[in-house]
Structure 1
Amino acid sequence: MTLTLPDAAAALTTRNPPNVDFSQIPISTLENIRNRLNQVHLTLRKLLDSVNIYNKLPNKGRQYMVIQNQLQVLITQFHSLAAQLDSNSELLRDTNVYPLPAFPTSQQEGLLTTLLRKKPLPEVDEWIESALTEKEDKSNDVQTDDLFAQWCMMKIQELKDEFQFYGFHTVQELERMETPEGKEELRKKKEEELQEQELERKISSNGKQAMHPNKVLKFMCSGQL
């Protein structure tokens, strides 16, 4: 049996596949990220199906709760995915993607082009820039809020050090209460309070004395006063 040079090379490759070193490939990290992405993908599909069902139902109350729960799950998954990407940002930035010899380059040319892309798509690049700009603006706002909060705490402490809190009256009010005019004002104020209490008692109970709680309980249990 005679083999041409290409056939011989193919046979040699089949019998002795090239040794590929996988030790430098962060398989566990990439697999975790892939699982997170797959979870987000499945949740998005379920959420889309739920929204389509919601639009067709006359009674939307129960389906609304389903959508709300799925949205909460999606937010949690996004947080987990963002944490994974952030903690492995340097690794992902320095990792180069390349096809293995057995990769079907002809059949999967589109996928290969996507995997080997060095720059994001224009629409992706646009929202990335928008997100970074918004993050910087919010970061400045947060720093301003922190400085304002620190100033407020310092000012509150300064004002607190200027006062001594021992009751509900200021020092000037307490000193006035010791004078004859202050005592007279205090007496009139107490009389007015007593009159208001008496008026409220007459309005609420027609001038009768309220029943003792024990009598109320006795009447509730036995029906007798």
Structure 2
Amino acid sequence: MLRLSKRIPQGQGLAAALLRRAPSLALDWATRQKSRFDARLSNDEHVGVFLPRGHVLRGGDVLVAEDGRLVRVVAADEAVTVVSAPAMLNPAEAAHALMRGAYHLGNRHVMLSLQSGRLVMEPDPVLGEMLKGLGLEVREAREPLSPKAALMATTAADTSMGMDTAITTTAATTPTTTPQGPCQRRPHTHDRPHAHDAPDVAGQPDLAGGRLQLF
């Protein structure tokens, strides 16, 4: 079995000719989050991946075998949910609707692929119904899923107020209904206390005018 133990993000520094000759390894999002797994290359060769923990493979990354051979990582097509704004909305209204949907998903710690005019996430019937209730269009599709990495940021303005702004995402799990509220559907931790079940008129961001204003 060929052992792959080194990752070169997006094949940086490698000649295009080398990459064209390299076999590919198609992986879904769940597998690309793992640090150790077995798989088969495009040439049907059996490989074992052994990477340092804490890294996520992205389409375009290159893995290096112990004998120096290269393997291109490809984000495989998989079942996803695509969220978009109704076609009847003007661009500003559409952006507002998607921003509102992204806020509610982020409040539930859902990992998202943020794309032009749409949100892409792992299928979840409960969240799909919630998004429809917000006036968004939800459909199932098959395409690569590449959620954005977690981002932790502190701005100068936040620091002067003694407050950190944290934007975090964690891997989604199958939702279950509990009396504690929608956030309890997904195991997670908090960097600072925040509410999950407040109505839109209180404790929610101001999404008016195409802006996201946090309180």
Give the TM-score normalised by the residue count of structure 1: 0.19
**Which has the larger share of strand?**
2
Give the TM-score normalised by the residue count of structure 2: 0.20
**Which has the larger share of helix?**
1
RCO comparison, higher one (Cα < 8 Å, 6+) = 2
Greater Rg over alpha carbons, structure: 1
